[in-house]
């Protein structure tokens, strides 16, 4: 699916076939957002779904304690804001642009009309929602059973997954800060920074200023396997 899957192993192939992606892209004029801007906020009324054309977007949730968690990172041809289809259409998370972003905004009635007129599209939407639920359930289980370094290593492996739409065999630069990685794996930032230092000592990652690079993905994959077999 066109978003990083952390809890379950899935590729980054588009969940929508090209004809349906083209239909969504042509519904309305594209809307552009600058880096770090918000597409919508948690708690907003939800009357639109968004189809991501360009850039990356993170979905974040603020819990009752005030702690922020990153739910997922969307890539081009991902669908955002599906809570617009809920019985009580309220945004359950915020969407923040990690890059300059372009989306198409689709009104709830339009989106539902496409689901009715294109049965295959409805099937793909159900699959997307099921994959997201499965990924989240696995991540919650991992939070209870795994160490921070295990969760971090698995997350780095997912974030560097080969993108069939990209030119590189895998993503070398991780687009998240230490704080954002901590939000993604339900850990404290200092603990994540310490774990990254250990991974750097093993030659798995390289830290240059604020940039975090995957130095050796094969070694990272072996490290994930080794830590899970201990």
- Whole-angstrom distance, CA of residue 225 vs CA of residue 28: 45
Superfamily of domain covering 18-141: Jelly Rolls (2.60.120.10)
| Token duo for residue 94 | 């915020």
The reported pLDDT for the residue numbered 49 is: 96
The reported pLDDT for the residue numbered 102 is: 97
The reported pLDDT for the residue numbered 91 is: 95
As beta bridge partners, residue 96 has 38, 58
SS3 track for 160-198: CCCCCCCCCCCCCEECCCHHHHHHHHCCCHHHHHHHHHH
Please give the radius of gyration of the chain, using alpha carbons only, rounded to the nearest integer: 18
Per-residue pLDDT 10s for the chain (230 aa) are 577 777 666 666 667 888 888 999 999 999 999 999 999 999 999 999 999 999 999 999 998 778 888 888 998 999 999 999 999 999 999 999 999 999 999 999 999 999 999 888 988 898 888 888 888 777 777 777 788 898 899 899 888 887 766 555 556 888 889 999 999 888 999 999 999 999 999 999 998 877 899 999 899 988 887 765 55
The reported pLDDT for the residue numbered 130 is: 87
For the chain, give every domain's residue range.
18-141, 146-229
Instruction: Tell which residue, 101, 48, 47, has the closest CA to residue 74.
Output: 101
Domain 146-229, CATH class in plain words: mainly alpha
The reported pLDDT for the residue numbered 107 is: 96
Instruction: Tell which residue, 27, 24, 28, has the closest CA to residue 14.
Output: 24
Residue 137 near residue 7 (C-beta atoms within 8 A)? yes
Residue 7 near residue 30 (C-beta atoms within 8 A)? no
**Identical fold, 18-141 and 146-229:** no
What SS3 class is residue 28? coil
Percent of the chain topping pLDDT 70: 90
Q: Quickly list DSSP for 30-77.
A: -EEE-TT-EEE-TTSB--EEEEEEES-EEEEEE-TTS-EEEEEEE-TT
- pLDDT tens digits for 63-78? 877 888 888 899 899 9
The reported pLDDT for the residue numbered 179 is: 93
- pLDDT tens digits for 142-189? 777 788 898 899 899 888 887 766 555 556 888 889 999 999 888 999
Exposed / middle / buried, residue 194 (Cβ in 10 Å: 0-12, 13-18, 19+)? middle
Whole-prediction pTM value?
A: 0.80
The reported pLDDT for the residue numbered 101 is: 96
In the chain the first and final C-alpha atoms are separated, in Å, by: 30
Alpha carbon of residue 224 to chain centroid: 20
| Token duo for residue 169 | 């065999």
């Amino acid at each position: 699916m066109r978003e990083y899957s952390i809890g379950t192993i899935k590729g980054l192939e588009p969940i929508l076939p090209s004809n349906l992606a083209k239909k969504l892209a042509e519904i309305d004029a594209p809307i552009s957002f600058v880096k770090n801007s918000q597409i919508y906020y948690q708690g907003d009324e939800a009357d639109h779904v968004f189809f991501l054309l360009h850039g990356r977007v993170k979905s974040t949730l603020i819990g009752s304690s005030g702690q922020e968690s990153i739910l997922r990172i969307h890539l081009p041809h991902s669908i955002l804001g599906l809570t617009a289809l809920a019985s009580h259409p309220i945004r359950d998370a915020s969407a923040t642009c990690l890059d300059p972003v372009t989306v198409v905004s689709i009104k709830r009635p339009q989106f539902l009309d496409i689901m009715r007129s294109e049965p295959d599209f409805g099937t793909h939407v159900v699959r997307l929602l099921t994959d997201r639920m499965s990924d989240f359930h696995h991540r919650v289980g991992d939070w209870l059973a795994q160490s921070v370094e295990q969760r971090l290593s698995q997350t780095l492996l997912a974030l560097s997954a080969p993108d069939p739409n990209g030119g590189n065999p895998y993503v070398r630069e991780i687009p998240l800060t230490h704080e954002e990685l901590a939000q993604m794996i339900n850990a404290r930032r200092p603990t994540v920074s310490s774990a990254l230092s250990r991974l750097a000592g093993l030659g798995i990652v390289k830290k240059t200023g604020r940039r975090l690079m995957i130095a050796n993905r094969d070694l990272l994959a072996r490290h994930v396997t080794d830590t899970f077999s201990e």
